[in-house]
Structure 1
C-alpha cells in the first residue's frame, strides 16, 4: 500500500507555474517541469507531484539521507571555521541546510534553484513542510492557544522554525518582563505624584531604556552562545568565498571581501543618504501641509460641515503614506540591486535599515510637530485671524462657490487652541492605533480570504478547482493549497511593531505614565496570538528556518531611539511640566498665552546636554562592564583570528554532525519517469497513465483503477481455473499498474504443436527465450505479439516470484506466465516499468 504524501515526510514543497490550454498543459510547462524534476533527482532529491490549483503544481521534495548528511557535514565544517559550534542536530537546522543547498549556485556546489529569477522564474516559492499543515480548525487552535499551556516553548520554536524566530520570542518575553517594572513606576507617578509631565519620571524612563538595551545585549549574547550560533553572520557574509575556498583547498587567510569592494559598497550606501533626505523632505512637507489644513479646519474654520471636514487631513495622510511607501520601496529595490550585495545577510540588513527611516517618520513626526510647533506657536494664530481672512480673499476669487465658506472663520474672542492635543495624540498611538493594528494584522487577512472566495465563486462565477485526492491526503493537501496565495511570514514585521512601541514609550512616555501598563496588556495578548499565528498556516506560509547571532539591525534601532529620546523626552517634559495649559506666571522664554514654560534657556540647554551625553557615557560604561559577566559558554566560544586553512584542516576531521536522519522509506523507488508521470492526469481526462510502481506499493491512480476492475478480474479468474492448459485465455492486461480493457489478443499457453492447431492462417509461430534462458513460443498477428509460456510439468510450477519479477497468476491448474517478451518490451521494463499479475493482488486487496 502506498504511503500518503504526508506520511512520506517531505522536506519542502515547490509551487510552480503549470499553465494549461483547454485542460492540456502547454509544451513550455511540460519542459519546465521536466527540467526541474531532472535537476532535483540529479542533485540527490526525490520528488512527488500533486495538483496545486488550476494553473499550479505542487512538487514535494525530500533530500535523501546520503546526500543530506553530506551537506550537513559541509555546513558544519564551514560553521566551525568561524567559531559557530552548533551541531545542527535539530529539524530546523536540517531544513536550513537543505534550503541553502537548493538555492546556492551550482558553481559552488548547490542546485541553483532560485525562485522567480532567471531560468527558474516559473518556480514561485519554496515552502518548508511543518506541523502547521496538520488538520485543525481556526477556532480549535485559537481556543487551545488561550486555554492551554503554551505549546510553542522557545526551545521548540528554535527546533522547528530556527534561531531568528526563537530570538524574537525571547526578546518579546524579556521586553514584557521589563515593562512590568516600568508599569509599576508609571502607576506610582500617575496616582501618587499626580503629574503627567514629571521630570523625575522622565529621567527614570531614560535610565530604564538604557538598562534595558544593555541587559538585553547581555541576554542575547548568552542565548546565541548557549545555542552555539555565535558569529554565524560571518558565515553568511562570506559563504560564497568560503565555499569556493574549501572546494579548492587553497591556503588563504580569512575570506574577507577585498578592500576595494568594501569601499565601493560603503560609498554606494552613502549615496542613499541624499535619496533618504529627499523622501524625508517630501513626507515631512506633506505632513506639515496636512497639519496646516487640520489646524485650519479644527481651530479656525467655523462654517458648515466642520465635523466631516476635520476628517480630511486623516484621509489625505492615509492615502498618501501607502503610495509614498510603495514608491520608496521600489527605489530601495533598485538601490539594493545597484549596491550588489554578495550575501543575503548584508542585503536584508540594508533593506531593513532603509525602511526604518520611513517607519520613524510616519510614526513619530506627528507627535514631534505637536510638541515643537503646535503647542508652542498655535496661540499666535488668534491675533492674525483677520490677516488669514484677507489672504483668502486675495487669492480666492469671489465667483468660486466655496469662497463664502472659506471666509467663515472664528472671531478672535472665540478662538481656542487645543491644549490637550499632545495627550490625545499619544493616547491614540498607544491605545486606538494598537487596537486598529491588531484587527488589521490578525482579523483582516481571514476576512479578506473569505471575501475573495465569495467573490470568485458567487460574483465572478469562477469554477472552483476540485482535485481528485486520495481520502488519506485530501485534508492535508487542502491545507497546503490554501497557503499558496498567502504571504511569506517575515519575523521582521513583528520586530518592527515592538521596536516602534518601545520608541513611543521612551520618547513620549512622560505624556502619560500609564502607557507602559497599557502596552503590557496588549503585549500579553499579542504574544499568545503570535504563537498561534506561527503554529497555524492560516495566516502565512511557514517561514524558512534561518539562524542569527543577534536581532540585528533592530538592536541598532533600539539604541538610536533611546539616543533620540535622550534629547526629545527631557525637552518635552521641560516645556510642559506645568501642563499644556498656558502658565499663570510667564517664564523667560514664554510667550503670552503659550503652553511652553521655560524659565531659562541656559537650563534647557544644560538639561539636553546632560541627558544626551549621560546616556552615551552610561550605555558605553554598562556595555563594557557587561563583558565582565560572561558565562562559561561565552568564554569557551571566544573566537580567535586563526588562519582559515588551519581551522579547516582541524575541524573537517574532528567535527561530525550528530543529527538523527529521517529515514527515506517510501522514497527510494521514485524516479524521474514515475514522478513526471504523476503530472500526466493533468494533460487530459483520457490520458493513459504510465506511472511506475515504487517499492512499498502502487501509485494512487493505479490503486483506483485496480479497485474498479477487481470484480471483473475475479470473474475472469474463475474462468481460468476451469480451462485446460492449451486453449486461448483472454485475461485483463496490466500496463504500468493500470488495468486495461480485456485484451483482444488471447494469451496462448501450450507447445508448438498446440499453437499450430489453433493459430489463424495469418499467424506466424516464432521461438524466443525468456530472461532465464528457457525456450518459449509465441504467435504474431498484425504486429501484435502474444506472450506464450513454455509448458512445464504441473509439479514444477512455482507460485512465488523473485523480487525483481512480476508475480504470476496462480489458479487451481497452477498456470504460470513468463516475464519475457520481445526486445521492445524488455527495454521498456529496463526503464523501470513493471508488470504485475492480478489474482494475487486482488485477493490481497480484498
Structure 2
C-alpha cells in the first residue's frame, strides 16, 4: 500500500529496531489501525504513518519510549483546502473576517491558532481610534504632543475598554463561533497551588540577578558614553549591549531547564504549558520594560547626583590610566525617546527578520555546516533510498522530514502572543512619550498577519490540535478555547499602566529639563545653564507616589465597573456535560508484513546486509509455500506472516520443546495443503471442534492453550507490550468466538451433526480457512499435563469399539510413534484389567475437566 492510498493523518518517529517495530505494529494492529513504514530522517529512525480518525494512536503510543515524536498530518483533501485558503487569506485580506477565522479553525483543526488571529484582528481594530487621536496631536499640537494629559487618560480608558471587551465579549463569541472545547481543567488543586507558591523564592532570586546585571550594564554604559574619553569610545560603548545579549540567554536557559521545567513537573498541575508561560513571561517583562523604567525613574531623577562623585571617579580612573571627563555630567535628554523608538520600531523589525528570514538562511547554511549535503551522509542515503524505492512519495516524505528536522518547526501560538502582548505593554505604559506609537503598531500588525499566515499555513508543520474537541458541550471545570494565560498577563499590564502612566505624566509634564514647554519652563530659563546640577522635576517623589496610588485606585474602580457591565452571559452557562464517545471494538489487523518490508529497506539503508540483484535480502530466510511433500506439522516461515509472531527467547524455548506446531492464524490466501484422512467420529469430532473454535489443542481429554503458561511468556499471555515477547498479534489479531466453549462442546457431544451449525458465522469462515493441523505433543509439553488427565478420555470412547479397534483410534489421533506406543500400551492394559462394567464405574466416578469446572461453578 502506498502512502497516498493510506492517506495518513499521523506520523510516528520511531527509534528503529525490529523488536521496537514489531511491538508497536502489533499494538496498532490490535486497535485496527492501518499503518505503513518509510525511512526516517536518518538511519536510526523510521517513520510510521497511521490513519486514525478517532485519535486512539495517541493513547497507544504514550507507553512506548522508543516513539520519540507524534505529529499530526493533513489528509489529501485537507492539504488542498489549506493551499486554497492560504492563497486567499495572504493575498486578498488585510484583516481577516469572521468567516475566514471559522474556516481557518475548521480546516486546520486548531481553534487556538484561529483565536490568535482573532486576537490580532480585534487588537488592531481597537488601536485605530487611539492612532487617530495620536495622529491628531501630531498634526494640530506638535509641541504639546509629548506627555499629553488628554492622551494619557485616553490610553488608560482604551486599555480598560479593550481588555474587558475582549475577555467578556469577543473571546467568548469567537469560542462559541468556532465550536471547540479544550479538554483541559481550568482550576488547579490546593496542593498544586501551594507548590506554585514555592516557586516565588526562585523567581525572586533570578529577578534579582537579572535586574542587578541590568543596573550594572546601565552604569557601565553611562560611564563609557558620557564620562570615558579614551580611544575607540564608540566601539567600547557597545560592550554593555554585548554583555546583556550574552548574559540574558544564558540566565534564561538555566532558569528554564533547571528550575521551570522541573518545578512544573513537580507541581503536577492541570495545565503545565500555562504554568510555563506564566513563569517565562517574568523574564520577558524584565528584559523589555526595565531598561526604559531605569531611564525614566532612575537616570533622569537622580542623574544630577553623579556630579558630586566625579572627583572620586577621576581619582580611580587615573590609577588605571583611563582618561575621563571630570568637568560636569549632563543628562542625555533624548535617551528615553531613542529607547522607546528602538523598542517600538527597530525591535519589531528585528523580530520580523528573526521569524521569517532567519529560518530561510538556516535552511541554506546548516546543511553545509553539518555536512548533510555530502553523498555519504545519512540524509543523502535516505534521499537516494526514497528515490529508488518510493519515487512517487519523494516530495511528500521530504515535507514530513522538514516538519520534524527543518528550521520552521511548529507554529507556536504562545510565542506569537508574547510578541503582541509586549507590544500592548509598550503602548499602554510608554506611548505618552510618542503618541504615534499606536499608528506604527497598526502597520506592523498588518504585516504580522500576512507573515504569520504564511508561516502557519505554508511553512510550519500541520496545525492540528489534539487537545481540542469540536461540537462539545462545556462542563464545569473545563475551559473554552481561550488565550490563557495571556488574558491574565494583559490584565496585569493594564493595572501596571495605571501606576506608570500617571507617574510619568506628573513627572515629565512639569519639569525643568531644557526643551520642554511645560509651565515650569519659566523657572528653567531663569536658572541659566546649571540645570543639570539640580533635581529636574517640579514634584518630589513622595507627592508623585501618593498621587499615583490614588489615581491607580480610581482607574481600577472604573475597570471593575466596566467589567461588570460588559460581562458576557455566555460565561455563566456551564451546567451541561461533555458527551461520551461511543465505544466500538476495532477490527484486528496483522501488520507483520510491514515489519518485514521495513527491515528490508532499513537493512539496505544501513548497509548491514548484502542485497541480491533481485532486491531480496540474503540473510533473511526465504518464505516458501508449503508443498505436498512437506509434512503438515512442519513450522514454515508462513507462520510469521499469518500472525505467529514469536521471536527472541520465547521462540528458542518453543523450538527446544520438540516439534510442536503452532496453530497458524487466518490469512487472506492460506497455502493449500493436502487433506488428512478423517479420524473416527467418536473421538475426532470433539477434538476438531475444540481446535477450530477456541484455537487450543485437545490431547487425551485435556485442553491445552496455544501458549504453555510459564514465567517467560507472562507478557505474551496478558497482551502486555514487551521487547522480549513481541508476539502480541498472535492472540490479539484473531477474532474470538461469541459462544462459550463449554456450551459448544456440550452441543457437539450430544449431536455431532450440528458441529458446523454450532459455530458462529465468523468462526466457520475462520475454521474453513485454517489449514488442518495435527498436534504432536512433545515430551517437554507433557510435563504440564497430569497423567490422571488422560484417563477421562475413556468416557468419550464407545465401549463396543474399544475392544475391537483400540489401536486404530489411538493412531488416528496421535500420529507420532513415541506417543502411539505409549497410548497403545495404556489402552491394552486398561482393556485387559477391566471390563465394560468397570469402565462404566470409572465413567461415573471420574469426572472430565469440563465436568469439574461445571460442578465448581
TM-score range, shorter chain: 0.5 to 0.7
* Per-residue Cα deviation, 1:389-423 (whole angstroms, up to 9, x for no partner): 11345xxxx5xxxx22x2x111415x432111000
SS in 1 for 2:404: coil
Pair 580,213 (structure 1): closer, same or farther in 2 beyond 3 Å: farther
Aligned to 1:558: 490
Residues 12 and 128, structure 1, Cα contact 8 Å, conserved in 2: yes
Aligned to 1:204: 154
For residues 290 and 74 of structure 2, what CA distance do their matches in structure 1 show?
Answer: 41
SS in 1 for 2:253: helix
1:338 equivalent to 2:266? Answer: yes
Aligned to 1:442: 356
Aligned to 2:73: 129
Residues 11 and 49, structure 2, Cα contact 8 Å, conserved in 1: yes
* Per-residue Cα deviation, 1:9-62 (whole angstroms, up to 9, x for no partner): 2121011222xxxxxxxxxx2211211111222233221111112221110112
Aligned to 1:544: 465
Aligned to 2:248: 321
Number of aligned residue pairs = 594
Equivalent of 1:639 in 539, 555, 574: 574
Pair 596,35 (structure 1): closer, same or farther in 2 beyond 3 Å: farther
For residues 541 and 225 of structure 1, what CA distance do their matches in structure 2 show?
Answer: 23
Aligned to 1:498: 420
For residues 359 and 267 of structure 1, what CA distance do their matches in structure 2 show?
Answer: 25
* CA displacement at 1:7 relative to structure 2: 4.2
* CA displacement at 1:822 relative to structure 2: 10
Pair 409,705 (structure 1): closer, same or farther in 2 beyond 3 Å: closer
* CA displacement at 1:482 relative to structure 2: 1.9
Q: Any residues of structure 2 matched to 1:377-456 within 5 Å, and which?
A: 377-393=302-318, 398=319, 403-404=320-321, 406=322, 408-413=323-328, 415-455=329-369, 456=371
Pair 37,509 (structure 1): closer, same or farther in 2 beyond 3 Å: same
* CA displacement at 1:134 relative to structure 2: 9.4
Residues 11 and 128, structure 1, Cα contact 8 Å, conserved in 2: yes
Equivalent of 1:483 in 385, 403, 415: 403
Residues 127 and 544, structure 1, Cα contact 8 Å, conserved in 2: no
Aligned to 1:220: 171
Aligned to 2:392: 472
Pair 610,332 (structure 1): closer, same or farther in 2 beyond 3 Å: same
Equivalent of 1:161 in 109, 114, 119: 109
Aligned to 1:742: none
For residues 197 and 122 of structure 1, what CA distance do their matches in structure 2 show?
Answer: 60
Pair 470,148 (structure 1): closer, same or farther in 2 beyond 3 Å: farther
Residues 135 and 475, structure 1, Cα contact 8 Å, conserved in 2: no
SS in 2 for 1:412: coil
Aligned to 2:294: 369
Residues 31 and 588, structure 2, Cα contact 8 Å, conserved in 1: no
* CA displacement at 1:141 relative to structure 2: 11
For residues 280 and 540 of structure 1, what CA distance do their matches in structure 2 show?
Answer: 35
Aligned to 2:689: none
* CA displacement at 1:453 relative to structure 2: 1.4
Residues 48 and 678, structure 1, Cα contact 8 Å, conserved in 2: no
For residues 134 and 172 of structure 1, what CA distance do their matches in structure 2 show?
Answer: 25
Aligned to 1:24: none
* CA displacement at 1:488 relative to structure 2: 3.4
For residues 79 and 367 of structure 2, what CA distance do their matches in structure 1 show?
Answer: 20
Aligned to 1:786: none
Aligned to 1:598: 538
Residues 300 and 409, structure 1, Cα contact 8 Å, conserved in 2: yes
For residues 502 and 302 of structure 1, what CA distance do their matches in structure 2 show?
Answer: 39
Residues 154 and 169, structure 1, Cα contact 8 Å, conserved in 2: yes
SS in 1 for 2:40: strand
1:306 equivalent to 2:233? Answer: yes
Pair 387,460 (structure 1): closer, same or farther in 2 beyond 3 Å: farther
For residues 102 and 223 of structure 2, what CA distance do their matches in structure 1 show?
Answer: 55
Aligned to 1:56: 45
For residues 132 and 383 of structure 1, what CA distance do their matches in structure 2 show?
Answer: 74
Residues 13 and 58, structure 1, Cα contact 8 Å, conserved in 2: yes
Aligned to 1:726: none
For residues 132 and 374 of structure 1, what CA distance do their matches in structure 2 show?
Answer: 60
For residues 325 and 264 of structure 2, what CA distance do their matches in structure 1 show?
Answer: 52
Residues 6 and 35, structure 2, Cα contact 8 Å, conserved in 1: no
TM-score (norm 1): 0.63
Residues 576 and 596, structure 1, Cα contact 8 Å, conserved in 2: no
Gaps of 5+ in 1: 19-28, 69-97, 104-109, 239-255, 662-666, 689-700, 707-734, 739-766, 774-818, 825-846
For residues 514 and 560 of structure 1, what CA distance do their matches in structure 2 show?
Answer: 24
SS in 2 for 1:291: helix
Q: CA RMSD in A?
A: 4.1
Aligned to 1:530: 452
Pair 211,363 (structure 1): closer, same or farther in 2 beyond 3 Å: same
Aligned to 1:678: 597
Q: Any residues of structure 2 matched to 1:83-102 within 5 Å, and which?
A: 98=55, 101-102=56-57
TM-score (norm 2): 0.63
For residues 412 and 151 of structure 2, what CA distance do their matches in structure 1 show?
Answer: 36
Pair 146,183 (structure 1): closer, same or farther in 2 beyond 3 Å: same
* CA displacement at 1:614 relative to structure 2: 2.0
SS in 1 for 2:39: strand
Residues 44 and 63, structure 1, Cα contact 8 Å, conserved in 2: no
For residues 7 and 186 of structure 1, what CA distance do their matches in structure 2 show?
Answer: 59
Pair 267,135 (structure 1): closer, same or farther in 2 beyond 3 Å: closer
Pair 358,299 (structure 1): closer, same or farther in 2 beyond 3 Å: same
Aligned to 1:285: 212
Pair 540,324 (structure 1): closer, same or farther in 2 beyond 3 Å: farther
Equivalent of 1:575 in 507, 524, 529: 507
Pair 482,585 (structure 1): closer, same or farther in 2 beyond 3 Å: same
Once the two structures are overlaid, the 10-residue window that deviates more, 286-295 or 467-476, is 467-476
* CA displacement at 1:124 relative to structure 2: 1.8
For residues 605 and 419 of structure 2, what CA distance do their matches in structure 1 show?
Answer: 54
* CA displacement at 1:226 relative to structure 2: 3.6
Once the two structures are overlaid, the 10-residue window that deviates more, 154-163 or 575-584, is 575-584
* CA displacement at 1:338 relative to structure 2: 1.7
- Bigger Rg, structure 1 or 2: 2
* Per-residue Cα deviation, 1:769-827 (whole angstroms, up to 9, x for no partner): 46999xxxxxxxxxxxxxxxxxxxxxxxxxxxxxxxxxxxxxxxxxxxxx999979xxx
Pair 531,591 (structure 1): closer, same or farther in 2 beyond 3 Å: same
For residues 120 and 676 of structure 2, what CA distance do their matches in structure 1 show?
Answer: 69
For residues 386 and 530 of structure 1, what CA distance do their matches in structure 2 show?
Answer: 55
Equivalent of 2:184 in 222, 230, 236: 236
For residues 267 and 140 of structure 2, what CA distance do their matches in structure 1 show?
Answer: 55
* CA displacement at 1:270 relative to structure 2: 0.6
SS in 1 for 2:11: strand
SS in 2 for 1:280: helix
Pair 174,13 (structure 1): closer, same or farther in 2 beyond 3 Å: same
* CA displacement at 1:626 relative to structure 2: 1.2
Residues 419 and 595, structure 1, Cα contact 8 Å, conserved in 2: no
Aligned to 1:518: 440
Residues 209 and 506, structure 1, Cα contact 8 Å, conserved in 2: yes
For residues 204 and 216 of structure 2, what CA distance do their matches in structure 1 show?
Answer: 18
1:172 equivalent to 2:120? Answer: yes
* Per-residue Cα deviation, 1:573-626 (whole angstroms, up to 9, x for no partner): 222225783464559xx9854574234667634541343112211111111111
Residues 303 and 331, structure 2, Cα contact 8 Å, conserved in 1: yes
Pair 171,683 (structure 1): closer, same or farther in 2 beyond 3 Å: closer
Residues 13 and 70, structure 2, Cα contact 8 Å, conserved in 1: yes
* CA displacement at 1:8 relative to structure 2: 2.5
Residues 9 and 75, structure 2, Cα contact 8 Å, conserved in 1: no
Aligned to 1:17: 15
Pair 436,141 (structure 1): closer, same or farther in 2 beyond 3 Å: farther
For residues 821 and 439 of structure 1, what CA distance do their matches in structure 2 show?
Answer: 67
Residues 15 and 46, structure 2, Cα contact 8 Å, conserved in 1: yes
Q: Any residues of structure 2 matched to 1:832-843 within 5 Å, and which?
A: none
